[in-house]
Structure 1
Amino acid sequence: MGTSHGAGSRLGRAAHDLFFRNVHNRHLIYNTCWEDPRIDRELLALDGSSRVVMVTSAGCNALDYLLDSPATIHAVDVNPRQNALLQLKLALFRLGGFDDLYAMFGKGSHDGYARVYAAARPHLDAPSAAFWDRRIGYFDRHRGRPSFYYHGTAGTAAWLFTRVLLRRPALRAGLLDLMDADSLCEQQAIYTRIEPLIWGGLISWLVRQPWVMSLLGVPRSQLQLIRDGYPGGLASYLADKLRHVATEVMTRDNYFWRVYLTGSYASGCCPEYLRAEHFDRLADRVDRVRTHTTTVSDFLRRNPGTYSHFVLLDHQDWLVRHDRPALEEEWELLLANSRPGSRILMRSAAQDASFLPEFARRSLRFFPEWAAALHRRDRVGTYGSVHLAEVL
């Protein structure tokens, strides 16, 4: 009986991994970045001499970092669709029309999307153009889902969650009130009222489903880090993280949660790259951003140099469980292509950085108090930890 259960568990894990790989190999995952660049820029301290290597994700944060005028930003992602998304944003800056940029990526739809895309397409590389030729209808509000932010796999999960959450009038009103609250005290009162409604039967069931987590870009390795390291496991982790965001961080400018709740940003609650006052400055700098469809390790092998900043997001959570040699190789390349003082920023579902190779930790200086203090102000609030390291 124990053997049968073990075999079933192994089959379940294998099925989860297979589904996750299929999702990530075939689809746009992230339609917006899920890391707060406000704290990133404080930790990174970019300037005109900075040479940045970062994981692309949805490209929002590459544009945010560009406000600090680094010399170059290399946006690296193994998923070509993520680079296609950043390339489309860069193309809209090159076209020079803020209204078109804001309609597509601020409101999530544009009645003239086909016209805008026809003008933007010559600025895309061939793989990006091929992707958008098939998917530019994501910006058509009349085609099924009303917003770009409800497309891609994370967007599909957001669409599913919001359809469940917003069908209850009391919860819908409470969530919208929460986003517009004027103080933490008001937020705390609202959330106390609606928290039992959020964690109803269907939502509680959905967050336990591996396929839902895969759509959100969460691999089994990250789920296991949470189950192994967080008191109460995944359910407690999610409940505590949501409570923290709702009651301890101001929501009026929390564009991360607003966009998935409403399908759009607001003019006063949006990423910095979507603010009109930054448009001309960013348009002048977009040629400093270059996309690379490959792994971080392969990029560094092909483009050796001395880089001042690395932004790794949370991809090492996957490596630590599935490919330890690749994790060690990546750290060897990171250290070989840095200098004393180079900064490395990473996030994790784990509560600490003990998963890093020992030789890497010996070569780095960490700033745990500083990073932890900023982590508490993070508007996303879903990661277990944030780590800033400086190369010795």
Structure 2
Amino acid sequence: MTELAPDAGFGRKNPKLRGALLQHKTLSLAGLSERLFGLLFSGLVYPQIWEDPIVDMEAMQLRSGHRIVTIGSGGCNMLAYLSAEPARIDVVDLNPHHVALNRLKLAVFRNLPTHKDVVRFLAAEGTRSNGQAYDLFIAPKLDPATRAYWSGRDLTGRRRVSVFERNIYRTGLLGRFIAASHVLARLHGVDPAGFVQARSMREQRQFFDDKIAPLFERPVIRWITGRKSSLFGLGIPPQQFDELASLSHEKSLAAVLRHRLEKLTCHFPLCENYFAWQAFARRYPLPHEGELPAYLQASRYEAIRNHAERVTVHHASFTELLARKPASSVDRYVLLDAQDWMTDRQLNDLWTEITRTADAGAVVIFRTAAEASILPGRLSAALHDQWHYDAEMSAKLCAEDRSAIYGGFHIYRKKA
């Protein structure tokens, strides 16, 4: 139970996370920045994952029988992958709050009676019956550590699971960051929630040009986006801030963030982009407004429910888990943006284990804050030469990623 203890946090209480984040001395500016980020990151960060699973699944060409290792984060993509009926999914995460969330989402699919019950629990807001559903159907089937976490109390004295009676997507570090962004925009006379009133791509473009884009010219916002700590709420650590800053001639990331928001608001129809709904309405769309994430769609429900037992969630690093696996035992690897945080040594240790455990035809996908892949020049030639970079497909799918958060999406295939 200790790895899911309610007060599990940064530093001494979470040495796995500490080892992944800290690269500089405590009293240096970089070291203080890393420790502040670590403190914020030690709680729940992502109630929803912000990588597009449709892009992932096309890149990996998932099929029945594949063995996948993925970082957990909010858990949405892991569930979407299940709809392809893989043989096994190992989910890893250094954040115990994400571990608890992934295990709960799996239990929701396994134990709630119908698809409508699943959507009500994971996608609706203001649904007080979800607490009763948890007590009746879910809690008795959870492992003791996960049950202790969700049945435990938060700082306000409410049971943690009660967040599903309100709106979990307004919580966590990212949820609070989005809330703060809305407040900042309203102080400048713009209500971001107005974006979801757009009824066409033309109206979406007009809202961005008239309302959103001018915000990034405001001195206060330019000053805020020049501070590394201002973007910790997006889950962007100091290392990623530096990568993003390399895209701009200014110290402020205003231009980079403006460009990413332009993609989010203008490149995809609102009814097809639940990421935009979360960013602007802070909820998922209702049935008449747009589509839900892939894992909540009715067409995928039976496959996910029937194969949920094929998932194991680990409180471990990617490298740590792979080190326990035999050679040639994994087909697909999903690294999210974790490599942006890594030192060269950590990067090479990771790819040593990936290369050892990769079966014939294995595929690795990951995202980067900047546009280019981070592997050239950092990964040893002995490792790099065993993988083929699919530059054309990487660029194509990066353009199709509806979350619009990242600068690059990358696909590496194991050479024969």
- Length-normalised TM-score, structure 2: 0.83
Is the CA contact 1:102–1:274 (under 8 Å) kept in the aligned structure 2?
Answer: yes
Cα deviation for residue 29 of structure 1 reads 0.9
- What residue in structure 2 maps to residue 239 of structure 1? 258
Kept after mapping to 1: 8 A contact 2:213/2:258: no
Which of 383, 386, 408 aligns to 1:363? It is 386
Partner SS state of residue 381, structure 1: coil
Picking from 119, 127, 132, the partner of 2:145 is 127
* Contact 1:103 1:109 (8 Å CA) reproduced: no
1:161 and 2:181 matched? yes
Q: 1:304 aligns with which of 311, 315, 326?
A: 326
CA–CA separation in structure 2 for the residues paired with 1:172 and 1:292: 37
Correspondence for 2:60: 44
Partner of 2:244: 226
Which residue does 2:120 correspond to in 1?
A: 103
Describe the SS at the equivalent of 1:84: helix
1:181 shift after superposition: 3.1
Instruction: Describe the shift of the 1:204–1:149 C-alpha distance in structure 2 as closer, same or farther (beyond 3 A).
Output: farther
How far is 1:170 from its partner? 5.6
Per-residue CA deviation, residues 225-253 of structure 1 (Å, 9 max, x unaligned), is: 11124454522211111112222233321
CA distance in 2, matches of 1:231, 1:248: 25
1:139 matched to 2:164? The reply is yes
Calculate the TM-score normalised by the size of structure 1. 0.88
Q: Does the 8 A contact of 1:347 with 1:386 survive in 2? A: yes
One-letter code of the match for 2:162?
G
Distance (whole Å) between structure 2 residues aligned to residue 334 and residue 112 of structure 1 = 44
SS, match of residue 341 in structure 1: strand
CA shift for structure 1 position 21: 1.4
Root-mean-square deviation over aligned CA pairs: 2.2
Provide the rounded CA distance (Å) in 1 between the counterparts of 2:244 and 2:190.
Answer: 31
How many residues align structurally? 372
1:84 corresponds to: 100
Deviations 1:97-151 (A, max 9, x none): 333321232124421232122131233223322221232122243xxxxx21111
The answer for unaligned runs of 5 or more in structure 1 is 1-8, 142-146
CA contact (8 A) 1:182 1:252 kept: no
The separation in 1 between residues aligned to 2:85 and 2:186, in whole angstroms, is 41
| CA gap 1:189/1:331 in 2 versus in 1, 3 angstroms | same
In the alignment, structure 1 residue 351 sits paired with structure 2 residue 371 = yes
Matching of residues 170-209 of structure 1 within 5 Å: 171-172=191-192, 174-177=194-197, 180-183=198-201, 185-199=202-216, 200=218, 203-209=221-227
Is residue 349 of structure 2 the alignment partner of residue 329 of structure 1? yes
Does the 8 A contact of 2:193 with 2:280 survive in 1? no
Give the AA of the match of 2:237.
P
User: What is the match of residue 28 of structure 1?
Assistant: 44
Code of the aligned partner of 1:129: R
Aligned partner of 1:6 in structure 2 is: none
Distance 1:207 1:232 in 2: 11
Greater displacement, 163-172 / 12-21: 163-172
1:80–1:127 Cα contact (<8 Å) kept: no
Instruction: Judge conservation of contact 1:87–1:128 (CA < 8 Å) in 2.
Output: yes
1:213 aligns with 2:231: yes
- 1:241–1:382 Cα contact (<8 Å) kept: yes
Q: Partner of 1:160: helix, strand, or coil?
A: helix
CA distance in 2, matches of 1:29, 1:195: 25
